[in-house]
Amino acid sequence: MNNFSRRAALRSFALVSTAASMLLTGGVFAADDTVTIGYAIARTGANATGAGITTIPNYELWVKTVNEAGGLAMPDGSKRMIEVVEYDNRSSNEDLVRAIERLASQDKVDLILPPWGTGTNLAVAPLFAKYGYPQLAVTAVTDKAPEFAARWDRSFWMLGGGHDYATGLVDVLAAARDAGTINGKVAVVSVADGFGIDLIKGARPAFEEAGFELVYDESYPLGTSDFAAIMSEAQASGADSFVAFSYPPGSFGMTKTAQAMGYNPAVFYISVGGAFPIYPGIAGGKAEGVMAIGGVDASSDAIKGYFAAHTAAAGNPPDSWASAITYASLEMLEQAVARVGLDHAALAGELSTGTFETVIGAVKLEDNQLRDLWTVGQWQDGSFRAVSPADRAGASDPIIPKPEW
């Protein structure tokens, strides 16, 4: 089965969905009554877990919601149904690049939605720019976002940089250290991929400036499945705080390894995957007190409504970090299309300068970047709640030390 074999089936699904909507209205839509939206996403491979939780359900929920409402609104007041063209990039940047090239040059879709992950978005940014498509890089964490936004002026960076998350984490740990709850030693590991590299580069100077000692600092290759040696060395380091800048396989593997070996640091922090709804199950029902990157205002009515809609459509709640931002980016795109249409230059201009009402509140980008972000969350009483920035409305107080597994 080749990389593009899903295309026909998924296109057929889109047409069936469109046909169902047409039956409700009693009309038949011509080609001009549709908008084709393409994406190349990891249905299989190492990135499939992240894409399958954070990205794919939001794309499908948004398309379903828009089409059930009659389609994307246009500036002239008309509406157009969405037709989807999807490829499985198989977690391969090479396959991803080929698929995006095909979407742009052969399928000639109206809009292209981004893949899941930092490295993948960086890999295709030049292609989005080459063909002029706006790129809502909603799951890319990079300190180079300002540089990339200037280089590719139709790219939009929605998840902040490593320095943002490192500083947020350091703030939480510094408060606990100053209160005498933890010592000043940190054991940190990072995945040797764009995401992990960016996070550790931001974390090292942030920890040093705050007076922490990195007593263990190691990277591990993407695809690593055995974390016994890493966790043993972290446990022996004398650090009260364990920090992992990790993708889901690492986040889950390190959790299970720590539990198996009885490793119970006062702070257990992981990254991508820690805010996933499946994490409490991964942790054997012992997620309480685990910290991870991101978070949501669990008390927000808009977030509650979004969680309910997502759960009803997908059968599972969204993750409590990038999912809501992903859906917000789609709402931004929808509102921008309603204002200026499908012209790529006009769309990029509106996304860059406009204000949008979304599930995460009113959004106005700064230099093509979303800057109002939650940086640290924690599992508390069955919910993943934002704890940093501590002075932001909706933040919960962190629980340190974490209860033992």
246 and 326 assigned to the same domain? no
pLDDT confidence of residue 298 = 86
Number of domains the chain is built from? 2
CATH number of the domain at 227, please: 3.40.50.2300
pLDDT category, 22, cuts 50, 70, 90?
very low
Produce one character per residue of 185-195: b if its CB has 16 or more CB atoms within 10 Å, e if not.
bbbbbbbebbb
- CA triplet 252, 253, 259: central angle to 5 degrees? 90
The domain in which residue 183 lies consists of: 162-297+375-388
207 and 342 assigned to the same domain? no
pLDDT category, 7, cuts 50, 70, 90?
very low
251 and 125 assigned to the same domain? no
pLDDT confidence of residue 23 = 29
197 and 85 assigned to the same domain? no
pLDDT confidence of residue 193 = 86
Contact 386, 300 (CB under 8 A): no
Give the amino acid at 391.
Answer: D
pLDDT category, 31, cuts 50, 70, 90?
low
- Taking residues 232-254, what's their average pLDDT? 97
Q: Which of 117, 26, 35, 176 is nearest to 322 (CA)?
A: 117
- Taking residues 268-288, what's their average pLDDT? 96
* pLDDT tens, position by position, 75-93: 999 999 999 999 999 999 9
* pLDDT tens, position by position, 99-130: 999 999 999 999 999 999 989 999 999 999 99
Q: Which of 199, 265, 208, 274 is nearest to 232 (CA)?
A: 265
Share of the chain above pLDDT 70, in %: 92
223 and 352 assigned to the same domain? no
Between 246 and 16, the more confident residue is 246
pLDDT confidence of residue 154 = 98
Residue 17, pLDDT > 70, answer no
> What is the residue-averaged pLDDT of the chain?
92
Residue 313, pLDDT > 50, answer yes
- Taking residues 234-261, what's their average pLDDT? 97
20 and 151 assigned to the same domain? yes
DSSP sequence for 319-340 = PSSHHHHHHHHHHHHHHHHHHH
Contact 320, 378 (CB under 8 A): no
Q: Specify if 304 maps to a domain.
A: no
100 and 138 assigned to the same domain? yes
213 and 77 assigned to the same domain? no
> Within 13 Å of residue 309, how many CA atoms lie on the same side as its CB?
18
267 and 338 assigned to the same domain? no
Between 1 and 336, the more confident residue is 336
pLDDT confidence of residue 9 = 36
Angstrom CA distances, 402 to 183, 193, 194, 267, 389, stand at 14, 28, 29, 6, 19
128 and 210 assigned to the same domain? no
Q: How far from each other are the two terminal CA atoms of the chain, in whole angstroms? A: 43
Q: Specify if 353 maps to a domain.
A: yes
